Amino acid sequence: MQAEAWISAESTSARLHVVAGVLRDTHGRVLIAQRPAGKHLAGMWEFPGGKCEDGELPIDALARELREELGVVVESARPLIAVPHDYPEQRILLDVWQVSAHSGIVLARESQPLAWAEIDDLARLPMPAADRPVITALRLPDRYLITPPLPPDETDTVVRGIERACRKGVRLIQLRLPGWPSDRLARVARSARNLCRDYGAQLLLNADWKLSAVLGLDGVHLPAAIAATLTQRPLPADRWVGVSCHDAAELAQAARIGADFVTLGPVFPTASHEGAATLGWEGFADLAATTALPIYALGGMEIDDVDAAQVSGAQGVAAIRALWDA
Ligand SMILES: Nc1nc2c([nH]c(=O)n2[C@H]2C[C@H](O)[C@@H](COP(=O)(O)OP(=O)(O)OP(=O)(O)O)O2)c(=O)[nH]1
Ligand SMILES: [Mg+2]
């Protein structure tokens, strides 16, 4: 009896490690393949890939699967996102890589239907549930600016800073101005929104999702304390909902309410949260592995930290100072 109980606990905890690759064409479209009839999730569109064999490194499994299924040789690839997902029949870790260079011409070596899809069209295609955070990760940039806590008479400074960031290529911005009266906040948010539209940048408002919706901003970023009071996402699917997280419980709550992405930190000490306990990259990676959502590393981040963050399971970095200062 005891041995049986042990075996079943073991088998429910083991995840099937699946690797998949995102290949792009010259227009930035991504390659998807249709799963064959008779297999798990038959008929759904997926990123080409398959199961990691025992003892095989994920990058080697990726190269093997893409050679077998598409006839291409992977020249270079980097991790995009690893999604733990529980299907009723199977628990998987969907480990998705961006293939930045490959050689050979893409062929359907297993006669599977192939298509090149625009990233913005992926959400409308029938794709497996585990791919939802992957699609989000493909739509999100690797840098996330949070505005510094400026006093309410500094409207021009806020707008100029956002424009400076947009010019430097920042495409995701959280407007966070604690203590601003709502009329001033609304005024600066409108100017920032128009500016962001010109640059194709997304503007999220900290905490106040109602004001975000009224002003037609791109979404909201919720402090953990507010996310804790919710049972579902406060904005529809066509708006962004981010959540600030610091531990596993907050990450789980963000997933429960259907957030799109999170920030997690502090990774390193920061002026804005002096004395707070820090995660370091190791602690960050351990926590990152518990969630399916795209994560921005936060706290003491420099622009140069994007690579380290991605190696530790992040989408990229969130920062005030490093992305605000010219
Ligand atoms: N390749 C891939 N698999 C995915 C994606 N999303 C998703 O949930 N899966 C699931 C479906 C399957 O349960 C599992 C992949 O297993 P598979 O049976 O297709 O693997 P494989 O290519 O090695 O197939 P096979 O040789 O065993 O026939 O991962 C995705 O985007 N790509
Ligand atoms: Mg496969």
Protein residue with least CA distance to atom 29, ligand 1: 18
Which residues are paired to 101 by β-bridges? Answer: 76
97 and 214 share one domain: no
Q: Report residue 5's pLDDT band, with 50, 70 and 90 as the boundaries.
A: very low
At 135, the amino acid letter reads I
Q: Is 86 helix (H, G, I), strand (E, B) or coil?
A: strand
CB atoms within 10 A of CB 5: 9
- Residue 262 reports pLDDT greater than 80: yes
Output the domain CATH number for residue 257: 3.20.20.70
The rounded distance, in Å, linking the Cα atoms of 264 and 165 is 22
**Cβ(190) – ligand 1 distance below 6 Å:** no
At 1, the amino acid letter reads M
Q: Judge whether 174 and 145 are in contact, CB under 8 Å.
A: yes
pLDDT by residue (tens digit) across 143-179?
A: 999 999 999 989 999 999 999 999 999 999 999 999 9
The structure tokens 């981010």 sit at 242
Rounded to the nearest angstrom, the distance between the alpha carbon of 18 and the centre of ligand 2 is 9
Quote ipTM for the complex.
Answer: 0.97
Q: Report residue 286's pLDDT band, with 50, 70 and 90 as the boundaries.
A: very high
Rg (CA), the chain: 21
User: pLDDT at position 326, please?
Assistant: 58
Q: Judge whether 107 and 67 are in contact, CB under 8 Å.
A: no
Domain that holds residue 88: 2-132
- Domain-embedded: residue 137: no
Which whole number is the average pLDDT over 288-292? 97
- Domain-embedded: residue 138: no
222 and 169 share one domain: yes
Cα of 236 vs its chain's centroid, Å: 18
| Closest alpha carbon to 134 in 261, 257, 33, 263 | 261
Rounded to the nearest angstrom, the distance between the alpha carbon of 51 and the centre of ligand 1 is 6
User: pLDDT at position 13, please?
Assistant: 59
User: pLDDT at position 276, please?
Assistant: 80
* Residue 80: C-alpha distances to residues 20, 142, 262, 310, 315 (Å): 10, 10, 15, 7, 7
pLDDT by residue (tens digit) across 76-114?
A: 999 999 999 999 999 999 999 999 999 999 999 999 999
Rounded to the nearest angstrom, the distance between the alpha carbon of 23 and the centre of ligand 1 is 16
Ligand 1 pocket test target in 17, 23, 46, 127 with most atoms within 8 Å of CB: 46
User: pLDDT at position 274, please?
Assistant: 77
**Cβ(110) – ligand 1 distance below 6 Å:** no
Number of domains in the chain: 2
User: pLDDT at position 3, please?
Assistant: 36
**Cβ(42) – ligand 1 distance below 6 Å:** no
- What is the position in ligand 1's atom list of the atom closest to the CA of 48? 1
pLDDT by residue (tens digit) across 229-249?
A: 999 999 999 999 999 999 999
- Residue 301 reports pLDDT greater than 80: yes
Protein residue with least CA distance to atom 2, ligand 1: 49
Average pLDDT, the chain: 94
Output the domain CATH number for residue 120: 3.90.79.10
**Cβ(51) – ligand 1 distance below 6 Å:** yes
User: pLDDT at position 273, please?
Assistant: 76
Alpha-helical runs (H) found in 140-289: 155-167, 182-199, 209-214, 224-227, 248-256, 280-288
